[in-house]
Amino acid sequence: MKRQAATLMAILLSTALTLSACSGKNTNNVGSTPQAGEGTPGNTAAAGTVNEFGWELPAKTTKIHFYQADQGNPDKINKKQAAFHTYLLEKFNVDITRSSLDVDPKEKLNLMLVSGDYPEVIAAMDDSAISQWKAQGKIMDLAPLVDQYGPNIKKELGARYESYLDEDGKLWGIPRGWGYLPIPDFTAHIRWDWYQELGAPAIETPEDYYNVLKQMVAKHPTNANGEKTYALSWNSDVNINNALGFWGLKDGYKEDADNNLTHWLNTDEGKQAVLYYNRFFLDGMMDPDAFVNKFDDWRIKFSSERIAGHIGPWWQSWNAGHEVWLKTDADYKEDKRYVQIAFKAPGAEKAYLSPKDTHGWNYTVLTDKAQSPEEIIKFLDFMMTPMGTRLLGWGIPNIEDSYWNYEEGGKWSFSETTKQSLLDGKLDFEKTEAANGSNSFWLAYPQGLLSDDQKSTAWYDQNFIQDDKWKKLMHENVGDSIYDSTERRVSFMNDNPLTIKNQQIEELIKTGFAKAVMSKSEAEAVKNFDELREKAVKIGLADIEKYRTEQYKKNMALLK
């Protein structure tokens, strides 16, 4: 899906600005059509004017040029943010742009720290990086700024605000993606029309899933081009811990009655899971590129009808399956898609597939180069409000490709046209997101339900679960596999002697798990699993288990 020509872009921007100028009075009845503000091109409102979102325009343009420590394609990022950047500059006198690079973000952050070449604002910085940058005096304590300029930050975070402060009461970052969203992320998937051809037999255990997928590929051994089909495929984004959730493990750990945690390598369940996935490989039903597929390549393989099942985020099979076929298959029927399902191993209490850490993903920090930190905090404070979250999450309102409409006085509604296009499976996300800029600048707001209605969320397409036949079915199937993992949250700081051990074990598991799954016999898979466990134990797996258990019990006490 490509963006339209420059002429269309100009029309969209012109439409946004025309609607802005025609919006009339603001929510506080301050002024009328905005005038140019200091340092801002175009027809931006005069300093001191309060716009229809309740934002008082600063006298001088607030500049937030930030690096987001996530790996991403710069061209796609720039394409998505362009229109929204212009909108915020004109309507808010805020000049905000994001940069990300298609490189390892941890390596980039380290390079920035060593070279001293970094921006005023960095997003998606984790606890470990914050510890490192704080130790070198390169990031700011935000607590005094939040005390003075961040009432909404404190209001929205509520009692959890204290959990972001260090032992000295200092705040080193504003959380991103905090809160609880009761919507599944990680699931098993099955090609629905092929499944229906078999009479939709019950799938309650991993063994059932295996047998059904085996029947499906037997019935569809190749695609239309004569290429081999596979029962199961992954891509390089596979989350091993989540793939083990069918055996009752949470975050890759087994918990006993006394809340002690045992790593999956030291459990029978972990070995069962490895041998289960190895069976797919031994029977020629596992995609041989399962652990090395880059998403774009995997998407081509997936949409070429070569995959019967997948275990991963639900949106992956949507994006690589029916969202492609809707555009390429003239005879497309809605059952040609993947449906998300859950099952559990015999003896497992539940399948634990979608952990939800309500603390958040990571943080936005201000570096020692910030020239006007108070102005930046003011805008982050606006972002944190429910309406600020809607604007930043859903993008520009009141244009042709808007997700929503916004009126004077704070009244809002979803665009019925766009919503129906979404429900029909015909929404061109790449086109609409380039036009409205949705979620281009996720610096401070929650992923959970918004506080003013406890219903809407920053994820536009997750606001209509009950209206969408297939999302509703997904939720019915896998809603029970969601769990709150906040208490299990553990941060490995740079000054923690276990951090290196933990990193070494995690890297060992990435290669060792793949090696065991791709073993050429069950005996070899057992051997490779045992060797993996022994290597991890030698590095210090028992120390990691002990530390995680201690932190888990400590968190349970704090969060009660």
List per-residue pLDDT tens for the chain, 560 residues long: 333 333 333 333 333 333 333 333 333 322 222 333 333 444 455 778 999 999 999 999 999 999 999 999 999 999 999 999 999 999 999 999 999 999 999 999 999 999 999 999 999 999 999 999 999 999 999 999 999 999 999 999 999 999 999 999 999 999 999 999 999 999 999 999 999 999 999 999 999 999 999 999 999 999 999 999 999 999 988 899 999 999 999 999 999 999 999 999 999 999 999 999 999 999 999 999 999 999 999 999 999 999 999 999 999 999 999 999 999 999 999 999 999 999 999 999 999 999 999 999 999 999 999 999 999 999 999 999 999 999 999 999 999 999 999 998 899 999 999 999 999 888 999 999 999 999 999 999 999 999 999 999 999 999 999 999 999 999 999 999 999 999 999 988 888 999 999 999 999 999 999 999 999 999 999 999 999 999 999 999 999 999 999 999 999 987 66
Using CA atoms, how far apart are residues 406 and 75, in angstroms rounded to an integer? 30
Any idea which residue has 């006394």 for tokens?
258
| DSSP designation for 363 | E
Domain with CATH 3.40.190.10 in the chain: 49-180+360-462, 186-352+490-559
Distance CA 187, CA 474 (A): 9
Quote the Cα angle for 336-337-341, to 5°: 135
Residue type, 90: E
> Superfamily assignment of 186-352+490-559 in CATH?
Periplasmic binding protein-like II (3.40.190.10)
Give the model's pLDDT for residue 409. 85
Burial of 202 (0-12, 13-18, 19+ CB in 10 A): exposed
* Distant-in-sequence, close-in-space partners of 552: CB < 8 Å, separation ≥ 6: 259, 261, 487, 488, 490
For residue 332, which phi and psi values (nearest 5 degrees)? -60, 135
How would you list the strands of the sheet with 307-313, edge to edge?
Answer: 230-233, 307-313, 186-191, 338-341
User: Please, are residues 285 and 540 in contact by the beta-carbon 8 Å criterion?
Assistant: no
> What dihedral do alpha carbons 383, 384, 387, 391 form, nearest 10°?
30
* CA distances to 421, 464, 467, 474, 526 from 424, in Å: 5, 12, 11, 16, 47
350, burial (CB in 10 Å: exposed 0-12, middle 13-18, buried 19+): middle
Q: What is the pLDDT of residue 520?
A: 98
In 3-state terms the chain splits into helix, strand, coil percentages (rounded to 5) of: 45, 15, 40
For residues 189 and 173, give the distance between their C-alpha atoms in angstroms, rounded to a whole number. Answer: 37
End-to-end CA distance of the chain: 48
- Chain-centre distance of CA 536, in angstroms? 29
Q: Compute CA distances 43 → 345, 379, 408, whole Å.
A: 62, 20, 19
Give φ, ψ of 66 to 5 degrees: -120, 155
CB atoms within 10 A of CB 360: 22
Q: Distance (Å, rounded) from C-alpha 479 to C-alpha 536? A: 33
- Give 125's strand partners: 363
Distance between CA 15 and CA 393 in Å, rounded? 20
42 contacts: CB under 8 Å, gap ≥ 6: 17, 36, 89, 90
Provide the CATH topology of domain 49-180+360-462. Answer: D-Maltodextrin-Binding Protein; domain 2 (3.40.190)
Half-sphere exposure for 546 (CA within 13 Å, toward CB): 7
C-alpha span between 385 and 376 (Å, rounded)? 15
Q: Where are the beta strands (DSSP E) in 342-447?
A: 354-356, 362-366, 404-406, 412-414
Would you state the structure tokens that stand for residue 372, as one six-digit string?
């006007």
Position 560 scores a pLDDT of 65
Helix (H, G, I), strand (E, B) or coil at 31: coil
Distance CA 66, CA 80 (A): 15
The strands making up 94-99's β-sheet, listed across from edge to edge, are 94-99, 62-68, 121-125, 362-366, 174-176
What the block records as the tokens of 558 is 């704090």
Locate 408 and state its tokens.
């004077």
- DSSP string spanning 147-173? HHH-HHHHHHHGGGGGGGB-TTS-B--
DSSP string, 79-102: HHHHHHHHHHHHHH-EEEEEE--S
Distances (CA, A) of 23 to 91, 226, 395, 398: 11, 57, 17, 10
Q: What pLDDT is attached to residue 45?
A: 58
